[in-house]
């Protein structure tokens, strides 16, 4: 199933944006939950954020090891704190 062109609810968009801003949440975690690859996350961030916020986010995430599972230390075996995604 191809998720790149799927419509996301406002809640899902909010969560994708939140995860994208989190330093320790890798793009692979977003892909796992929402089927959205890094280029799709970038498209969402570009369309949903103000241009200055988008540039700040790109500068912050570009090349950041914690945003890419393959660049992470092998000692980090999860993308987020176990208590981070509590149900409301």
What is the chain's pLDDT, residue by residue, as a tens digit (88 residues)? 444 557 899 999 999 999 999 988 899 999 999 999 999 999 999 999 999 999 999 998 887 776 766 655 555 555 555 555 555 4
DSSP string, 23-80: TTS-HHHHHHHH---HHHHHHHHHHHS-HHHHHHHHHHHTT-GGG-GGGS-TT---SS
Q: Interhelix angle for 10-21 vs 27-34, to 10°?
A: 160
Q: What is the pTM of this model?
A: 0.70
Instruction: Report helix, strand or coil for 1.
Output: coil
Token output for 73:
């230390």
pLDDT at 81: 55
pLDDT value, residue 1: 41
Q: In which residue are the tokens 């914690």 written?
A: 66
In the prediction, which pLDDT does 62 show? Answer: 82
């Amino acid at each position: 199933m191809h998720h790149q062109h799927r419509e996301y609810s406002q809640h899902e968009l909010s969560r994708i944006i939140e995860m994208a801003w989190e330093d320790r949440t890798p793009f692979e975690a977003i892909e796992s939950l929402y089927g959205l690859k890094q280029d799709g996350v970038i498209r969402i961030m570009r369309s949903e954020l103000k241009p200055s916020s988008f540039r700040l986010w790109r500068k912050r995430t570009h090349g950041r090891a914690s945003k890419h599972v393959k660049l992470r230390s092998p000692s980090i075996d999860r993308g987020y704190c176990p208590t981070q995604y509590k149900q409301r």
